[in-house]
Structure 1
Amino acid sequence: MIPEDVLAFFDLKQGRRPKAILNVLVGKMTVSALFWGLEYDILEYLNFWKTIDTTSFLENVDRAVEGGFLAKKDELIYLTEAGQQKQFSCTTPTPFIKKVRLDEAINLLLLANQVISEFSFKNNRYIPVSDNLRINVILKNWFKQLKSRNHHTTDIVQKYTQGLDELLSQLQQHDADILLSYLPNHVDPGWTIDQLAQAFGISKFQMELKIRLIFSKIISDAVLTKTAPFVDLLNSTIKENVMPDSTYQTWQLIQQGKTVDEVARLKHVKTNTVKEHILMAAILDSNFPFDKFVRFNFEIGKHPTEVDFRSIQSQIADITFFDFRLIQIRKIKEQQNNNGNR
């Protein structure tokens, strides 16, 4: 990793904490991690890169500060104008991808391409690119269903190729070239990330980021447009909800009319735990009914994260931190909906 790699996650005007960025990337599902992900407007990256080298990321943030690409002020990190010139330009993940187990979906697509390619050459003596039992079982069942619907080899290959072409057509030509080079097939095992990085003149980190973004795009397209035969392959990687299971269960009970105390008793948890789940729902649910939960109405200002809870508490004695955080979340969402990235 090089200092320029980390610049994509920082902003000229908004100071950010590197560890908070990493919490989002690796999918840390706590109220604090999600709150700062919301504030930084990077929740699209939630659980996007579980295997990222966090130590190297933090070391290169420090190097970027030393190099003048980032600036540190009051423990917050800002992108500098010099850093903006070096910033790696890339898209953001599609919102839908938060509901997908991305690494599993990528591995399924890689293995599927290999299997179909080898099948087209009538070759059954090869080493699969994945040795993960779950991946292999899912792929085997999908391929079995595919063969049951298409009895001839040419039909299966044609169906797969047609679907892949549809997905590739939604990409920029540059990205389609990268994806095709990366996919394993009968002729070659696919280019490595190192090889692709060298060929396209970017760092290994930037290439892996780009590949993940490309996959997030085609996975979202395949599922949302029901592109055959990929949608059947990827359905098993989609979670019912982006919230953790326990949080989602809590939120369903609350929506059914249960009170915080009732949910706490039903689930044998503390009331504060239920409130944390509600806050997580407020962050992650785009249709969260704030009016139902917000007890106080006051102007929190243009920069809600800069307002101190104790200063508000001195004015409203019975306000709780739950109330305060809920108001902050609502304000941040309103600003982002009205103005885009702040």
Structure 2
Amino acid sequence: MGPADLLQLLDQTQPRRVRAIENLLRGRRTVSTLYWGQRYQLLALLSLAKQLDRGALDAAAQQVVQQGLASWDANHERLVLTPRGLAAQQSATYFHPQTADWWPTIDLMTARQRILLAVQVASQFSHHAGHYLPLTTDMATRQFVRNWFHQVKANDLGTQVLAALTTSLAKLDPLVAAVVTGQFTGYQQAGQTLGQLSQTTQRTPWEIQLMQFEGLAQIMQDAKAPTNPFNSLLQPLWQTPVSRSAQITLNTVKQGQTLAQIAGERRVKVSTVREHLLEAAIMLPLAAFPYDRLLAPATRDQFKAVVQGPVDDWQYTELPEALQKQYEFFYFRLYAIWVGKQGEQHGK
């Protein structure tokens, strides 16, 4: 990810931690990473660049500062756009995905492997090519696509796949559609690499990846139709954005058990139970989390009476001592998440 890509992830009024953005891309699912992903409205990027090394964004951060597009805060931890950086961000013809809200609910990496291999298999089959070198994928993907192929195998499979892809791609920006089809491998056709697509489109490699995710998400959405040939191949890849362990904890809370009871039954610390619940609160819509049970209206009123200013500036240690004794950090953070979700609900 280069400076042009990082520039699109910064804000002119909200200083943003480069390390938090990096950890989000790398899939570090700590409560802190998820919380700041929510605050920055970047949760859609979670785990989309697991190959990044620690410090991978440092060079890009240094370049945007050197170019006068952003500046560091006093602790040299957070970046904020300068007026020049804001102008550059707004004038750039950078790609902004329209399906990003779906991304946390899709296993995009597995979907990519399955779609690419399935398209190759259908193409070769439609041309009666029995001997070809399949794309390199993991064993699980090969087995799943093999089973899918034998399930949907028909003389017109190639026609069905072409029709489904044409329908999905027609809903995308033409450039995005071209990038998606450009990566397909089929009969007497080799798919283009990320670098090749970047060079031919004059877009950054990260933009190309975003376009690919956009196309995958649209294909996934359309594959929900039972008549779509990709239905059985892709439907299992829709997922809850919450980890399995956190989902179990959340379900138990909804059943009425206390945090201490849950910790005892699951043989984990109460702090772990709280981390699960904060993750669920961050990742799920406002109505899907039991705020009234864990954060009663009276409790919210107590916090509201003492916290002021932007949510990002709130500090637990600045609360009145009596309130700190009454409520642990968990409730303070949950309140901040709830306030943030209220803003999202009203489009703020």
After TM superposition, is the score higher than 0.5?
A: yes
Residue identity matched to 1:177? A
* Number of the residue aligned with 1:268: 267
The 1:221/1:81 distance shift into structure 2, 3 A limit, reads: farther
Structure 1's consecutive aligned runs of 4 or more residues displaced over 6 angstroms after TM superposition are: none
1:1-342 equivalent positions in 2, closer than 5 A: 1-52=1-52, 54-74=54-74, 75-84=77-86, 85-86=88-89, 87=92, 88-91=94-97, 93-147=99-153, 150=154, 153=155, 155-223=156-224, 225=225, 228-239=228-239, 241-286=240-285, 287=287, 288-295=289-296, 296=299, 297=301, 298-299=303-304, 300-316=307-323, 317-340=325-348
Distance between the aligned counterparts of 1:213 and 1:196, measured in 2?
15
CA contact (8 A) 2:254 2:290 kept: no
Residue identity matched to 2:110? E
Distance between the aligned counterparts of 1:142 and 1:89, measured in 2?
33
CA contact (8 A) 1:3 1:64 kept: yes
Residue identity matched to 1:269? V
CA contact (8 A) 2:169 2:215 kept: no
Distance between the aligned counterparts of 1:77 and 1:24, measured in 2?
16
The 1:65/1:226 distance shift into structure 2, 3 A limit, reads: farther
* Number of positions where the alignment pairs a residue of Structure 1 with one of Structure 2: 333
Secondary structure (helix, strand or coil) at the match of 2:185 reads coil
1:93 to partner: Cα distance: 4.4
Select between 204-213 and 120-129 the one with higher mean Cα deviation: 204-213
Distance between the aligned counterparts of 1:41 and 1:332, measured in 2?
10
1:315 to partner: Cα distance: 4.8
Select between 52-61 and 33-42 the one with higher mean Cα deviation: 52-61
Residue identity matched to 2:269? K
Structure 1 gap ranges (5+):
none
Normalising to structure 1: TM-score of the pair? 0.91
CA contact (8 A) 1:111 1:139 kept: yes
Secondary structure (helix, strand or coil) at the match of 2:250 reads helix
CA contact (8 A) 2:22 2:56 kept: no
Distance between the aligned counterparts of 1:51 and 1:216, measured in 2?
21
1:331 to partner: Cα distance: 0.9
| Percent identity over paired residues | 28
Distance between the aligned counterparts of 2:101 and 2:322, measured in 1?
38
CA contact (8 A) 1:29 1:244 kept: no
1:108 to partner: Cα distance: 0.7
The 1:65/1:13 distance shift into structure 2, 3 A limit, reads: same
The Cα offsets for residues 73-98 of structure 1, whole Å up to 9 and x where unpaired, read as: 13210123333315534225432321
Residue identity matched to 1:250? T
CA contact (8 A) 1:15 1:77 kept: yes
Please report the RMSD computed on the Cα atoms of aligned residues, expressed in angstroms.
1.9
CA contact (8 A) 2:179 2:211 kept: no
The 1:166/1:80 distance shift into structure 2, 3 A limit, reads: same
